[in-house]
Structure formats: C-alpha cells, structure tokens
Structure 1
C-alpha cells in the first residue's frame, strides 16, 4: 500500500493508505489522539487479504492538513464521511483507537447506514459526570477544567537538535512501559517533523491537542451509543478493565448498543495495544468482524 493525498469537499487534505480492491468488504482504521496511520503497522497486513483497508492520518495529525480549528470528534467524523464518499465506499467496518473510537462512534451515530460494525478501543467512559472518570461535583469539575485550560498553552512539545535525538527521547516512555518493539519504532518515526527553526519535534501541535481535549470534556457518549444501529466490540485495556467506574460506564454503554461484545486482552495498554500486541488485537477484531458478515 502507498499513501495518497485526498482533498475532501470541505477543502481539508488527508493523507490516506488505501489497499483498494473491488467488491471487498471495507475496514476503516482510525488512530488515537497524537497518533498517525503508522500505528497500524502490525495490524493492516492481517487484513489485506480479503478486505479493502483504509487508514487515514486524521485532521491535525501526521501528513494531513492541520487547520486552526475543527477538532471536535463530530468534525472529524464528518471528515470520515466525506472521505468514504470520495473513495466510493458506501458501507464499512470501523476500528477505532481512543480518539479514533470516539470518531467512529460519532460516525456510526450520524451515518448508521455507512457502518456495518464498530470496534471501540476507547469511548468507554466520559471525562466528567455520572459516567465520567473524574469523580467530582459541578464546582470541582469547573475547577478541574479551568486548571487544565491554564496548563494547555504552557505545554512545550519535546524537541531536539537532531531527528535521532528526538527519537531517543520519545522512545523512553515506551521502554518504561515495557512495550518497545519494531511497531512502536515505526510509529514514532512517523511522528517526527522539522520545525521552521531547524529543530525536530512532534507533528501533534498544541492547537490541535487543546481543542480536541477541551471539546472532549463535554461529550456524553451515551447519546451516541443510543443512536447507533451496528454491533460493537469493546476492547478495554488492562487498566480500564480493573477500574470500577469504567466498568460501570462500559456496562451502561453496552446496554445501549444493539449488539455488543467485550474482549479484554491481558496486559494491554490503552491506545498502544495495537503496536504492543498486534496479533492478539488483530485476531480479536477479525473474529468479531467475520462473525458479523
């Protein structure tokens, strides 16, 4: 597969991998916040025989356009609807990681005829409220949001004088998690950009990150799950599966879906499981999709 640039009807240009293939069932892979399509390095080869696989760099990520605004997950879901239209895809399976799961959920709710099934490795809980991960009252929630808004502009993305120096620094968190491998390395290499000043830094710019996060705070995923018509596979990480608040929200969301299944992959790390344990994650997705065909 080779990447290509596709300009949507709204003028946004996306970098997309597309295996093409007439008459094959289609799977749309949507990466996490701060990710790129290279996170699927160990996953896509498992699906290229028998499926047409499509994997974009989302708006604001990788080699796609990075406008100043438009990072609500509904905006990005609309981009995906436009992308499917450009590619002539009428219906597909959607596999989403973290932010990608949120986008896939929005796409499924807004365009139910376009989505055959949905894999959510994310969108398992809200940030705030009864089904949220933050256990505060209204005043505590407001204080937490304000504190985070203050910190967002102060965030300084990592940078180094060389590509090698940047990658050495970016590698360390994955080493500490015990999940460093060739798939993670391929992903990290896809995230490096050279700034106008000649420094090497991340593709994930502050304006993209801040708008996405602050719009995410007010999402109520139960409203989207209530609107979808397709079956859902939930893939909670080890940490999420052991969290009682997340188990509760997941049970509520699951009850709203027409049909659902939960697979917990032991030792899995949120968002990174696709690179950490690609065979296990890929097999879980393939079995689910094939059960719905």
Structure 2
C-alpha cells in the first residue's frame, strides 16, 4: 500500500466543510494550469459541482486529482434542475457552478440560478479566473480603458447588420464571440458597418496553437475569405470609433448623396449614421429630402 504523504494541514483543509452557498467558479479556457488555488480548493470540497458538460469537467478533474460529485446543468435541463439545486442550498450544502471553459454566466447558463439563489437569501460567491474576453482584450493591442462585450451576433445577415449599426456609435472597444464558419461574413459586415477600424481576431487562446491576427476590419475579412474558416474558439476585438469633428450640413449632404447613389435609402441612412454618429431620425429626414429633390 502506498503511504499517505498528504501534509496534515492539507488534510485538515480538505476535511473542513465549505460554508453553505453557491460558488460561481471560473475554469481554464484552454491551458489546464490556468485555474486558481482557491478554485481547486472549492471544487474539491463542494458537496456538488454543477457542470455545463460533465465529460468536459471530468477531464479537468482528472488532471488536478479532484473526485467531487458532479451533475449536469445546462440550457436543456436548467428549468428542471434549479428547484433541486435550491432545495440543496436550503439544506445547507455548498454547490459550485462551472461552465465548460472560462467564467460562468458569460455566454453560458447560470444567470437564472444565481438570481433565484440570491432571491432566496443564499450566499453567492464568485471565484474569478480565466476569461476569453479579458484574454483577447489583453492581446489585441487596442484600447482597454472602456470596452463593450457584445457576445455573439445574430447568425442572420440582416439582423447582424442591424445589431452592428446600433453598436457603431458606442465610444468603446467592442468584443465579440464568433463561430469559425461565420467569421468571414461577420468581419465583412463589421467592415461595412463600422468602417476601417483596427481589429484583432484571436483564436485558441492559451492553447498550443494560439493565434492573434491584427489589422483593419476589411483586411481581416479579405484574409478569412481567402483562407477559409479557421479552427478553434474565436474572439474578435474591434477598436473604438475615431473621435469625429463636427460636420456642416453641406458635408453631410455630400456624404448622403454619395451613399444614395449606390445604396437603398435605408442602407444609405445606416451607413451615414455609423460614420457620423448623428441621430438616425435626423439623417433619415435629410435623406428623404434629398431623394425627393432628385
């Protein structure tokens, strides 16, 4: 029999019960070593670990020698699982919540559980750690003092373009998640709606084949149109709009006339709004006047 060489302090720590409550725990986004000592401690001592996919979490547990009890908690079973979890919290258990990768609740299930746990008066604790959003911001080389996380854009082009038109006027760096198959189309729509902003496409962050490709949006769109969909998880970071100087009515009219000559009134208005940051109602009214004058 192999002798137990675990230090006494470690044994005592693992034997001690966690305080009751829900522990929202970040896990690695790629490199299995990117997990905090506190997270390992909580995951090892929790009465139950709720996983987006128990198979994914089992691999992480095997690497770090954790044998905690797990149960699935995802979009398809959340409504059924939440009452059970809340009853266990009421009984005084310590329950950890993890996603497949990164920080739970950021484009992952868990928000309703956290809200209902708080409403029921249970303690909710965040264990911060890996995040693809923050990792991408760190590597992009773009302003980080103000950023807006937009998550996944719509898969339908018309809806995606509408979303981008709304985001165009936000005076901050934009962060998107995107699938490989939609990357080229999304970048092309970003270039059309946001203009030639500097951007970065980050892929497989913290993994062996990590890649960051930087450049203007139109150049990035052209690259992936030629190269095809890349492999891996993707985060896109787009720089903020340039500070615009005030435009006179004559300059706005010239921009509108140019846009109207090659696009529908609706698309022309969206283009000028994204370029100038002026109210859509104002640009639309002027576009109608110019269209009627022709």
TM-score by length of 1: 0.27
Which has the larger Rg? 2
Kindly indicate whether structure 1 or structure 2 has the higher relative contact order, using CA contacts under 8 Å at least 6 residues apart: 1
TM-score by length of 2: 0.27
